[in-house]
Amino acid sequence: MSAKVSIEETGEVSRDIKILIPRGQYDEKFSSGVNKAAQQARIKGFRPGKAPRQVVEKMYGDRIQNDVLEELVSQAYREALDDHKLNVVGYPKIDIKPIEEGKDVEISAAVELYPAPEIKDYKKLNFECEVTEYSDQLMDSELTRVAEMFASSEPVSRKKVKKGDLLKVSYSGTIGGEPFDGSEAKEVTILLGASSVPENFEKAMVGLEKEKEQSIEVDMAGDIANPAIAGKKASYSITVHEISERKIPELTDEFVKEKEVAEDLAALKKQIKDTIDRDIERRNHQSKVEGYFSTLLDKLKFEVPGILVDEEIRNILFEARLLDPNDQKSYQISVEGFRESLGERAEMRVKQGVALERILEQEGIEIGDKDVDEWLEKEAKQSSVGVDEIKKIYDLPKSLDRLKSHLAREKVMESLLAECKIKASKPEEENKKKGGKKKAAAEDKE
C-alpha cells in the first residue's frame, strides 16, 4: 500500500497518526466490491448477476464502503505502526473524514505508546525502608487465629450488641431513597470484627437492641467495587434477631492433637514460626523493592498511558477481591470511580514495571534451565510437595516463558538491592507504631 503517513507528537506517550490513502486504491476496492455484490445479489426484477451497477450501488453501497474502509484502514494502520516502530497500547481512536469525490481518503488515529524512558543511575541507591521483625505479638496473634477457627457460640440474654458478637440480622438499605445492589438481606449471620461486612456498617451496629427495628446511617467507602454508591451515605433499617457470644477454646497439647492441627502445641508454634518468618521475609523484600523504586522514580520522571493505569487499578481491585477476575463483567465495569483513590498507587506500580523492564534490557539478565530447576526445588521444599506437583500448579512447561520472566525480575532486583545502602526502620520506631495502635484500640474501646 502506498498510503502517506505522518506522525504528530501530541504528548510524551501519545501520537496522532495521519494517513492518506490514494483515491485510486479506494475506487479500485470499491469497484471490486460492487462487482462481487452484483454477481451474488438477488434483486427483484433482474436475473442473477444482471442488475445494473447503479442499482447495486444504491442498495449495497453503504455496506460495501464500510467493508472497503475497514480493510484499507486496518492495513494502513498496521503498516504505519510497523514502519514507524510504534509500540501502541490499547486500541486507537480512529477518525475517518467524510469521503469526497476525487479526493484521497483521510484517516487519523490517536494512539498511546508504551513508555520507553532512558534509565540511568539506577545502581547503588541510598534509601530508607521499614523492616518488620519477629515478635511474640505476631505469634500470639496467630495462635489466637487458630483457636478462633474452633470457636463455638452460645446465645446470650443481653439486649444490646457488643463488639465481637455473632449476630443474626435482617436489613434493607437505600441511598437517596432508592435500594441498591446488595442492600437487602434476611436473617444473615454476621460476626462483628471478622470483616464480613464493611467496617462502617459494623461500627454502626454496635449498641443496637435485639428484636427491635432500628435505623442506622452508613458512609459507604470511596473505593468499594460499585462506583455508583462509593462515597455516598446509605440509610439502613435493621433488626437484630439473635445475639451470641463466641467461646474460644484454650490451645493445649491434647486439643491441637485431637483437632489434627499438629502433634502438640510446640509443633504448632514451630509451624506458625516458620510461616511468620517466610511472611516477614516476603514483606521486608517487598518493602525494600518499594523503597528502591520510590527513590529511583523520584529522580526519573516519565509519563505512562492512562489505559495502563486503568488496567492496574483493575488489578488492584482484583487483589482486594472487590472484583472477580473470572467474571467477564469485571472487565466491563468502569474504573473511573476509583481513579481518585487508587490512581496514584496504580500509576506508581505501572512506572515501577516499566522501569524494571528497561533495567532488565540493559542488564541482559538470562534465566537458564538450572535457575528454573533450583526454583522448583525451593518451592517444592517450602510447600512440602513434589517437584512434579509444583510443575502442575504453575502449568509448566506451558507457562515456562512467564516463569523465566518472573525469575529474571527477581534476579535483577536481588542484584540491585545487594548494591544499595538501605537504612532499615529502627525497632524503637516500630514499637512506637505498635504503641500508637494499642492506644488507638484502647480509645476505641472507651
- 155/66 Cα distance (integer angstroms): 70
Query: Does residue 136 belong to any structural domain of this protein?
Result: no
Closest Cα partner for 111 from 200, 224, 18, 36? 18
Mean pLDDT score of the chain, rounded to an integer?
Answer: 88
CATH at 10: 3.30.70.1050
Domain span at residue 388 reads: 365-446
CA distances from 401 to 148, 191, 368, 406 (A): 42, 44, 11, 9
Tell me, yes or no, whether 339 lies in a domain.
Answer: no
Determine the pLDDT at residue 232: 85
Q: Mean of the pLDDT values across residues 32-41? A: 83
Q: What's the pLDDT at 377?
A: 93
Span 317-321, average pLDDT: 90
Q: Is residue 104 part of a domain?
A: yes
Domain termination residue (choose one: 247, 270, 286): 247
**Do 156 and 108 belong together in one domain?**
no
Q: What's the rounded mean pLDDT across residues 121-134?
A: 93
Q: For residue 233, give the CATH number of its domain.
A: 3.10.50.40
pLDDT at 426: 60
Which range among 46-55, 82-91, 278-287, 434-443 shows the weakest confidence by mean pLDDT? 434-443
User: pLDDT-based confidence at 345, cuts 50/70/90?
Assistant: very high
Cβ within 8 Å of residue 110, ≥6 positions away: 10, 14, 15, 16, 17, 92, 93, 95
As a residue count, the chain comes to 446
Q: Which residue has the cell 456498617?
A: 201
Rounded CA gap, 65 and 69, in Å?
A: 6
In a domain, 56, yes or no: yes
If asked whether residues 87 and 156 sit together in one domain, one would say no
Q: What average pLDDT score do residues 400-425 get?
A: 93
- 3-state helix vs strand vs coil in the chain, percent to 5: 50, 20, 30
Residues 15 and 98 in one domain: yes
Average pLDDT over residues 21-31: 91
Asked whether residue 292 is assigned to any structural domain, the reply reads no
Question: Does the residue 430 lie in any domain?
Answer: yes
157 and 221 inside one domain: yes
How does pLDDT run across 223-277, given as a tens digit for each residue?
Answer: 566 667 778 888 999 999 999 998 999 999 999 999 999 999 999 999 999 999 9
Task: Give the residue-averaged pLDDT of 4-25.
Answer: 93
> Cell 467495587 maps to which residue?
225
Does residue 88 share a domain with residue 181?
Answer: no
Mean pLDDT of 350-359: 95
Shared domain for 159 and 109, answered yes or no, is: no
- Number of folded domains that form the chain: 3
Q: Is residue 278 part of a domain?
A: no
Say yes or no to pLDDT of 350 above 70.
yes
One domain for residues 8 and 107: yes
Kindly list the distances between the CA atom of residue 254 and the CA atoms of 18, 150, 271, in Å, as whole numbers in the listed order. Answer: 77, 14, 17
Asked if 41 and 51 count as a contact pair (C-beta separation under 8 A), the reply is yes
Do 108 and 171 belong to one domain? no
Output the pLDDT for position 42.
73
Whether residue 192 is contained in a domain is answered as yes
Q: Residue 304 above 70 pLDDT? A: yes
The DSSP-derived string for 395-443 is TTTTTHHHHHHHHHHHHHHHHHHHHSEEEEPPHHHHHHHHHHHHHHHHH
List, for residues 376-388, the tens digit of each pLDDT value. 999 998 888 899 9
Residue-level pLDDT at 219: 87
Q: How much is the pLDDT for 433? A: 47
Task: Using a pLDDT cut of 70, give the percent of the chain over it.
Answer: 93
Examine the domain organization and report whether 106 and 206 are in the same domain: no
Rg (CA), the chain: 31
Q: What pLDDT, on a 0 to 100 scale, did the predictor assign at position 443? A: 46
Task: Note whether 390 and 376 are within 8 A (CB).
Answer: yes
Domain end residue (candidates: 247, 281, 296): 247
3-state SS, one letter per residue, for 98-115: CCCCCCCEEEEEEEEECC
DSSP calls for 337-348: GGHHHHHHHHHH
Q: How confident is the model at residue 125 (pLDDT cuts 50, 70, 90)?
A: very high
pLDDT at 222: 61
Question: pTM higher than 0.75 for the full model?
Answer: no
The pLDDT tens digits for 102-114 are: 899 999 999 999 9
Sorting pLDDT into bands at 50, 70 and 90, what band is 428?
low
pLDDT value for 440: 46
Q: Point out the domain boundary residue: 221, 247, 273.
A: 247
